[in-house]
Amino acid sequence: MRIGIGNQFLNQLRRRLSHPTACLPERRITWKYASCTQQQASSSSNLRQIIFSGIQPTGIPHLGNYFGALQQWVKIQDGATSTTDLFFSIVDLHAMTLPYDQAGLRLQKRQTLAALLAVGLDPERSTIFFQSAVPAHTELMWILSCTASVGYLSRMTQWKSKLAMSDSIALSDPDAKAKLKLGLFSYPVLQSADILLYRATHVPVGHDQAQHLEFARENVKNFNAAHGQFFTEPQTVMSPAKRVMSLKDPRVKMSKSHEDPRSRILLNDSPEMIQMKIKAALTDSIDGLYYHPEQRPGVSNLLMLMSYMDACQRSVEQIAAEGQALSMRAFKEEVAETLIKGMAELKERYDYFMDDAQSQYLRDVAAKGDEKARLKAEETMVLVREIVGIDGL
């Protein structure tokens, strides 16, 4: 009965939101990269597929975020059939697990939403929403916490890396006891709730997030063992291995946590900024060009970046072979020029959505996505509350 009411609300919402949206600049970005296989995105043409993924609002995405996740989201969206529901969340509650600036978080949420629209996510096709706008995320987290394993959580590496601790450190260690907060320790349970709340069948993740999806499946098993078969274990959609490394320390991934801002290229960097960062990128003094991440991590990273953005879709080997006569300076200039051309439309769209004139449009997109997510979440929670015995008297 309650699910029927939820569907009625959803139909009402669709009617309310059927008015024309604001005029957008023409989306001219050409997605020339290989997409996920249909096998990954759909295990059966007869079943409705639900895809969920999230991104923390850490501000303007860099090229590592773009090639590692956001570009893939757009490919999944553009290749999805009408039997696929898409949920992409800005997971702002996860951004609270370490000390943060409140005003900065508000700005970063806006920047992240603008970036999702800039890369090509369509709010008419995908549900784009803020995690904190859907209270059911934390409600389901608590319910899952009641059957989640502390031992499993203690072995996970994310809280250790966030606190710059060894992977072998134990919860009983005095340093861990002093620094570790409950939010950081338990946030994988919230991640599980994020996924299960929408009954996701498939979750696109990078290699560094595979452990968290395994934990989500563990939570499914624990919940079902305690309350009966309900949740289905989500499948992994592994993103192609497009790892972008730091420009200043090319043996580690590009990250906003690096102290040197020249280590990363942001989606809204100006041509002058891109040229400066590529010019300052760490390389080596070996003659010639060839791709070898172990021997030449800096050069290999630049070759990979150039290949990702190359208009002719050349491989790193082709680029290296054609650039053998180039000095390192000349090679860096070509890399910078390729990135400037390849990122021009991304930057144009991002700047458009961040303009003050688009503030109301961003709020409208968020409000629409938040409400759609709340309605979908409530359909799940009506059943969960009944299963665990808190649905009333």
The average confidence (pLDDT) of the chain is 87
pLDDT of residue 342: 96
**Active-site residue among 162, 179, 181, 279?**
162
DSSP 8-state class, residue 168? T
SS (H, E, C) 171-227: CCCHHHHHHCCHHHHHHHHHHHHHHHCCCCCEEEECHHHHHHHHHHHHHHHHHHHHH
Matching residue, tokens 């280590």: 263
pLDDT of residue 102: 95
pLDDT at 175 over 50: yes
pLDDT of residue 375: 98
**Active-site residue among 179, 181, 253, 279?**
253
Q: Hey, is 67 helix, strand or coil?
A: helix
Each as own residue / partner, the long-range contacts of residues 252-257 (CB below 8 Å, 24 or more positions apart, any chain) are 253/64, 253/208, 254/62, 254/63, 254/64, 255/62, 255/64, 256/58, 256/59, 256/62
pLDDT at 41 over 90: no
pLDDT of residue 352: 97
CA neighbor of 279 nearest in space, from 216, 340, 232, 367: 340
Calpha distance 237→265 (Å, rounded): 26
Q: Hey, is 35 helix, strand or coil?
A: coil
- Cβ-Cβ contacts under 8 Å for 21 (sequence gap 6 or more): 123, 124, 361, 364
Contact 54, 194 (CB under 8 A): yes
Calpha distance 233→6 (Å, rounded): 24
Higher pLDDT, 347 or 160: 347
Q: Is 253 among the residues known to form the active site? A: yes
| Confidence tier at 255 by pLDDT (50, 70, 90) | very high
Could you tell me the pTM of the whole model? 0.84
**Active-site residue among 179, 181, 256, 279?**
256
pLDDT of residue 209: 76
Q: Hey, is 384 helix, strand or coil?
A: helix
Instruction: Count CB-CB contacts under 10 A for residue 268.
Output: 20
